A = this chain, B = another copy of it.
Amino acid sequence: MQALPGFRDFLPEDCAKRSYIFMRWREVARRYGFVEWEGPPLELTELYRKKSGEEIVHQLFNFIDKGEREVALRPELTPTLARVAAAHEREFKKPLKWFSIGQFFRYEKQQRGRLREHFQLNCDIVGEADLAADIELLALCIDVLREFGFTANDFVVRISDREFWTDFLREKGVAADQWDEILQAIDKLGREPREKTAEKLGNLAEHIFATLKNGGESEKLSKILNALRVRGLADFVAIDIGIVRGLAYYTGIVFEVFDRAGKFRAIAGGGRYDNLIGQLSDGAVSLPALGFAMGDVVLGELINEAPHAREAIEQAIASDRKIDIYVVIAKEERRADALGQIQELRDRGYRIDYPLTQTKVARQFETAEDLGAHVALLYGDEWPQVKIKNMATAQQELVPHDHLLAHLQAQPSLSS
């Protein structure tokens, strides 16, 4: 039996990689004063239908539960955030700056490298309409990637303004109920043949293609560039009005992050969705909001490609796996003495392993090395003294067992 198609088992090394990514995500979000929260992985299907329309249901792991409820494994966090923010609106000072790390599910067509689950960092700011919030969010997104060792040569944040297009369409006299369709066609450019897009855009096609070619500007976009320049982050961004994000609910600044080489799908994406909380709460609560999500799969691929990022993660994994002390039991008569001391040392926080059953001494030292132990403690003929072997230098010394703890605590490399 295997895991379901599109689902991953995280063996220890994969799990350590995942933990490393989560740790970095958490660290940077906290530096920005974001606090962690989390929603349930199962929600009413209606929550997603209400936000994204019936079409989303085709991509869901959805079902009827034993209480006759239509439920779905969550495909994204934003509807849950809107639900929670609306329900607890009065309990928190605005703006909320919340982040979350969790697993999300989509019933995607099986394709190489396409999974049906992934983990996402979600960072959202709720209750602030000012552009300063958009800038703060962009800086956070950039810094999260910088934290992995990526530079401006590795990735770029492409920033756009949905209002640039809605202004454009209004000016051209296009009816508002056609905007979504046109924006989605622009979004799909590059993934669809140009003729197909041209057909969808109708008599606006030529004008839109020219606009995309010449690039667009807006006061907001200039302000963002200036503000990121002040922070020394201008090299990480580019204005690209071709980015509109497919989803209908974005209302202002939107952005997507890509690797510079253009090898992968988007690493992250987000934007402002000022009307969504109002819409999902049936108008009960109206709060401007914005956020982004970054997935672990594309990020993981990017880390594998970038030598400096990869080295950092491999070092972290290696040191994470290491134990402090391996206890070699050279004489079975000393097992009880050894176990008493192991307990004492673990109580002080040391990571310790030992052979559960009688094992050849040479084999025990091999295991000590495999596990990356800093020192081996040998319990044998020397008792009531214990032999300490520094695994790096192979230096050995004898210490009376009742001085062992003090002796080890004096070793700076054995921090516990």
Contact = CB atoms under 8 A, between A and B. Distances in A.
Contacts of A187: none
B10 A38 contact: yes
Interface string A104-134: 0101000000000100000000001010110
A31 interface: yes
B35 A12 contact: yes
A15 B67 CA distance: 28
B64 A130 contact: no
A165 B176 CA distance: 76
24 contacts: A1-B83, A2-B83, A4-B43, A5-B67, A10-B38, A12-B98, A16-B35, A31-B349, A31-B352, A33-B351, A35-B321, A41-B41, A41-B103, A42-B73, A61-B63, A61-B65, A93-B370, A97-B353, A128-B357, A130-B356, A136-B356, A231-B342, A231-B343, A233-B343
Contacts of A43: 3-4
Given A139-B343, A230-B340, A3 B39 contact: yes
A358 to B, nearest CB: 9
A386 B69 CA distance: 58
Given A1-B47, A69-B4, A37 B10 contact: yes
Copies of this chain present in the complex amount to 2
A407 interface: no
A16 B34 CA distance: 12
Given A12-B98, A231-B340, A349-B31, A63 B63 contact: yes
Given A43-B4, A93-B370, A15 B33 contact: no
Contact of A11 (B37, B323, B342, B352): B37
B38 A230 contact: no
Contacts of A130: 356-357
A232 B12 contact: no
A83 B7 CA distance: 14
Interface string A39-61: 11111101100000000001001
Contacts of A232: 340, 343
Contacts of A367: 93
A248 interface: no
Interface of A: 1-5, 7-12, 14-16, 18-19, 27, 30-33, 35-44, 46-47, 58, 61, 63-67, 69, 71, 73, 80, 83-84, 87-88, 91, 93, 95, 97-98, 103, 105, 107, 117, 128, 130, 132-133, 136, 139, 143, 227, 230-233, 280-281, 321, 323, 336, 339-340, 342-343, 346-347, 349-353, 356-357, 367, 370-371
A133 to B, nearest CB: 5
Given A31-B346, A44-B1, A84 B9 contact: yes
A2 B42 CA distance: 12
A42 B356 contact: no
Contacts of A117: 40-42
A43 to B, nearest CB: 7
Nearest to A96: B12
Given A16-B36, A232-B340, 5 more contacts: A8-B40, A31-B352, A42-B61, A93-B370, A136-B356
Given A346-B32, A346-B143, A37 B66 contact: no
A130 B356 CA distance: 8
